[in-house]
Copies of this chain bind each other. A is one copy, B any other.
């Protein structure tokens, strides 16, 4: 017994020493993962007419690349999941935006932990999606051409890092020399025509497979998220970062389109019985900074002026019909400088904490 007491004493000493050596929060604990893996979900199978010839199929003859009788499996989503020890009941399902893959939620462009690790540490099972025709879910049933046209500066504007090549003053985007280089490399093209029905079907198949969960969307997946929730009751709540389009209204309450420099944002109408489904789950929407309330000359900012205005109208509509939507423009609560990617900006731990608090408040933890 004396021996056991000695062990306890040394264990205590070790803890005290660690508290002295490592300042609080600096030392990350290991992640304890009960289970991890990846799978494809949803998708279609197409078959070419004719009969496959396993000898003369023409593969090695470029002038005769016959598909006769062959199948093609495509249009699925790819999902990587991790289930931590002592897991919470509801998993978080992270869905990236336009031109992105699940990388959005992983390590930040400057090498800090992203939402994947942050929420694993908060003991949520985490599912990361590459939507159909993107990333590791590259196999499409429809052909496409990838142009490789230089457009980084276009995205610098649309992703609200700044204007031209100049960061906005006070931006929370990490501005060391390598972060922007890395951020541009997160962009990954569509490997087939962008088709939101295809995407929604695959994410619906995912929720059919895994059961109840919380959907976390970003940008272009925001509107697709509302549409997915219309057809899948396993979505028990939605956290939406900067939804950009496809806001869904009752078909007789569709608001006027919002014009902005470079385009026009229209709403979608659905039958009231469908719309009402969006009133049955708690929803929170966050937008970052640098979104003007009046028209400006830069299209990158302009489309978010339209999106935020539409999101306000939409939140009011859902809440009027008995829903529970919270819309937060981060500067309104004193959080300034966020880009279109709050989940990887310098203050992403704070952004995650806001989300976590909301999940707790709504009993979704």
- Interface, chain A (partner B; CB < 8 A): 1, 4, 28, 30-40, 43, 45-48, 52, 54-55, 57, 59-60, 65, 67, 69-74, 76, 78, 80, 85, 101-103, 106-107, 111, 113-114, 117, 130, 134-154, 157-158, 163-165, 181-182, 184-189, 191-192, 262-263, 297-300
Pair B184/A59 contact, Cβ less than 8 Å: no
Q: For A54, give its contact among B37, B114, B163 (CB under 8 Å).
A: B163
A55 CB contacts on chain B under 8 angstroms? 297-299
Considering the chains assembled together, what is the distance between the CA atoms of A327 and B192 in angstroms? Answer: 40
Q: How far is the CB of A151 from chain B (nearest CB, A)?
A: 6
A52 CB contacts on chain B under 8 angstroms? 153, 164-165
Pair A80/B54 contact, Cβ less than 8 Å: no
Considering the chains assembled together, what is the distance between the CA atoms of A111 and B40 in angstroms? Answer: 11
A33 CB contacts on chain B under 8 angstroms? 30-33
Pair B186/A152 contact, Cβ less than 8 Å: no
Q: Which of A47, A152, A163, A181 has the most CB of B within 10 A?
A: A152
Considering the chains assembled together, what is the distance between the CA atoms of A36 and B74 in angstroms? Answer: 29
Considering the chains assembled together, what is the distance between the CA atoms of A74 and B164 in angstroms? Answer: 20
Pair B67/A149 contact, Cβ less than 8 Å: yes
Considering the chains assembled together, what is the distance between the CA atoms of A191 and B150 in angstroms? Answer: 15
